[in-house]
Amino acid sequence: MVTIGQIKERFLSEAFGSRLMDNTLRGFWCEYMLAEALGQECQTVGLGWNLWDLQIGKATASFPERIRIQVKNSAKTQPWNTRTQRLSETSFKLDWRKKPDYFDRDFPNVQCETEGFMCDLFILCHHAEEDFTTSDHRDPTQWEFYLLPTRGVHSAITPAELDSLRRAIATGANRSSTIRRPTTLNRGIRGRPAIEALSISELSLNLIRASF
């Protein structure tokens, strides 16, 4: 008789047993890695078609009592490039979108804007290791993290970007996006604020709250 324990053990062993993960599995890993680093106050809420991945505070609250976080990840080493050892270009797409019709039905009493980034903060997870023999997506110490607030005086989104994103929605698009690349994040190009990479040990709830 197959048991729940056997299924869990096999899934964890096969899904996360290799050093390099595909994009889907790596996304889940990054969400839980960040939640563990930030502690019990940080909830994983990304399952079930929610619009954000992590949440600090009650779902029915609003900012700043509730902080919604979207987690993005990108890695230079990919499992499909193991043989060629070709490095991937890393970048992050930040989506501005309309609130989908299902949201109010599936998440009653949860406040959410009718259009926007659907989060208060992006955390960009960058795996910069280039050596395929040592690269391990599971290792938190091999990741670097960028905090990009979408609101407040320290917003990482420029007024020009916001205008462009809003115009795209106004002309009928369901979503539009702006791109961030690790190679330019710490330089702050095009009027954007410079953002320094953080290690896993530097992340904390106090740092998250102070980022706005």
**Domain map (residue ranges) of the chain:** 19-210
Mean pLDDT over 25-53 rounds to: 95
- Cα(55)–Cα(163) distance, rounded to whole angstroms? 27
Q: Are 159 and 135 in contact (CB under 8 A)?
A: no
CA 103-107-109 angle, 5° bins: 115
Name the pTM for this structure.
Answer: 0.96
pLDDT of amino acid 48: 77
Per-residue pLDDT at 23 exceeds 90: no
CA dihedral for 84, 197, 185, 173, sign (positive or negative): positive
Mean pLDDT over 127-141 rounds to: 97
Mean pLDDT over 49-57 rounds to: 97
| pLDDT tens sequence across 77-100 | 999 999 999 999 999 999 999 999
Instruction: Give the chain's mean pLDDT.
Output: 96
